[in-house]
Amino acid sequence: MDDVLFLPQRCPYPPNKGDKIATWNILKHLAKRYRVHLGTYVDDPDDWQHADVLRQTCASVKLIDLDPRTAKIKSLSGFLTGEALSVAYYRQPAMQAWVDEKLASGVKRIFVFSSAMARYVTRAPGCVRIMDFCDLDSDKWRQYAAASAWPMSWVYAREADKLLAWERRIAADFDHSLFISEAETRDFKALAPESAHKVSVLTNGVDAEYFSPEREYPRLDQAAAQLVFTGAMDYKPNIDAVVWFAREVLPLLRQTHPQTGFTVVGSKPSAEVQDLAREPGIHVTGRVEDVRPYLAHAAGVVAPLRIARGIQNKVLEGMAMGKTVICSPQALEGIAAQPGQNLLLADTPAAFADACRQVLDGQTNLGEAARRCVLDTYAWDACLARLDTLLEPAA
């Protein structure tokens, strides 16, 4: 077996949030064909207990502890160096030394997940380098800027400009660049026309066997008419989504369905999200070992994101569980599902409330069609098959 250097920004295991779900499945796929040398950061202390899983999967592993608070302070150096703050956030000499050691040992294939990790392989002569941007992160920061007041609007706008310049530099330098959807790919080609000929799609998948409605799941101590949202609850777009739904949609829905509950499932809920739990019928779980029981016993799954890029795993997982998903246009972007056939689409509080009523009343049930869509389109092996040719020198 040949060697490959895999550099994701966050420890891939356990696969309990969007980017970790993707990188864990990528890691498993690479390990079928290569000896994988994994270099990554551990930003959640709970993840250290799973280090042996990674060591059993990989030929070698370099895990570096990353305290988010300290890293945020260090990232401010980007104001002095002219870097994007999110790139400065991941600057670690120990990681550079380990990467240099692996390259000196003869590793000739490199797969990078997240633009900040590309800094470690800007000099790698003779190597095939594949960059998986996943999302167009610079545009996400531009959305933050548009939705924020000064001075954060200025900080976010600066980050968008600096990160786009970094993304363009990487795309020009690497052998190939990947984005998670056709929309992301199209947008980046327009922003970086000099690299358009070597940019393409590597979409996310979902483990439909794991997220299966055919299994038995423990019943939760909740009211029957629950709408469920899943996601990391320290992530700004998720926070915005659940607060907006609780404040703008739920009151409209409860005019006709007063017993409707709303459950927010995800780790590290922010103070703003925790405050929602003080309101009747809103339940905030925090970290859970398994999101599937919450999805299995939900009346419907909501994804009311207003800031989003790429493909939303929460939508695919809800569909895989055979649930009717009600989502915003932003949450649907990049997903090959038809509104009204595989899920419901809503873009205003009134439209969201109406769609939820259809689900709660049993007028609309798209769960079977949703799961069929996932099975047909989002199997991980099929999604990742392109890696097998991209990483070969002849490609």
326: β partners: 302, 344
Per-residue burial over 234-258, b = 16 or more CB atoms within 10 Å of its CB, e = otherwise:
ebebbbbbbbbbbeebbebbeeebe
42 three-class SS: strand
CA-based nearest residue to 211, from 360, 379, 20: 379
Containing H/E element for 138? helix 137-146
Q: What is the DSSP string of 8-77?
A: ESS---S--SHHHHHHHHHHHHHHTTEEEEEEEEE-SGGGGGGHHHHHHHSSEEEEEE--HHHHHHHHTT
Residue 301 host element (H or E): strand 300-303
CA–CA separation, 253 and 247 (whole Å): 11
Phi/psi for 76 (5° steps) reads -65, -20
What is the DSSP code (8-state) at residue 218? P
CA dihedral 371, 308, 129, 13 (to 10 degrees): -60
pLDDT digits (tens, 9 = 90+) for 255-284: 999 999 999 999 999 999 999 999 999 999
pTM for this entry: 0.85
Helix (H, G, I), strand (E, B) or coil at 8: strand
Torsions phi, psi for 228 (to 5 deg): -120, 140
CB 89 within 8 A of CB 75: yes
- Encoded tokens for 5: 């250097």
- What's the token pair of residue 271? 């103070």
Q: Where are the alpha helices (DSSP H) in 194-309?
A: 236-244, 250-253, 271-276, 292-296
Q: Which helix (H) or strand (E) holds 63?
A: strand 60-65
The answer to whether 184 and 115 are in contact (CB under 8 A) is no
3-state secondary structure of 210: coil
- Cα end-to-end span (Å), the chain: 18
CB atoms within 10 A of CB 194: 10
Q: Distance between CA 73 and CA 88 in Å, rounded?
A: 10
pLDDT score, position 310? 80
| Secondary structure of residue 369 in the 3-state scheme | helix
For 53-73, what is each residue's pLDDT tens digit? 999 999 999 999 999 999 999
Q: Which residue has the tokens 């090959």?
A: 336
Single out the residue of 290, 284, 282 nearest to residue 271, CA to CA.
Answer: 284
Q: Which residues pair with 40 in a beta bridge?
A: 63
Q: Decide if 260 contacts 225 (C-beta within 8 A).
A: yes
> Which pLDDT tens digits describe the chain residue by residue (395 residues)?
899 999 999 999 999 888 999 999 999 999 999 999 999 999 999 999 999 999 999 999 999 999 999 999 999 999 999 999 999 999 999 999 999 999 999 999 999 999 999 999 999 989 999 999 999 999 999 999 998 999 999 999 999 999 999 999 999 999 999 999 998 999 999 999 999 999 999 998 999 999 999 999 998 765 556 999 999 999 999 999 999 999 999 999 999 999 999 999 999 999 999 999 999 999 999 999 999 999 999 999 999 999 987 889 999 999 999 999 999 999 998 899 999 999 999 999 999 999 999 999 999 999 999 999 999 999 898 899 989 899 987 54
Burial annotation 307-328 (CB, 10 A radius, 16+ → b, else e): bbbbbbbbbbbbbbbbbbbbbb
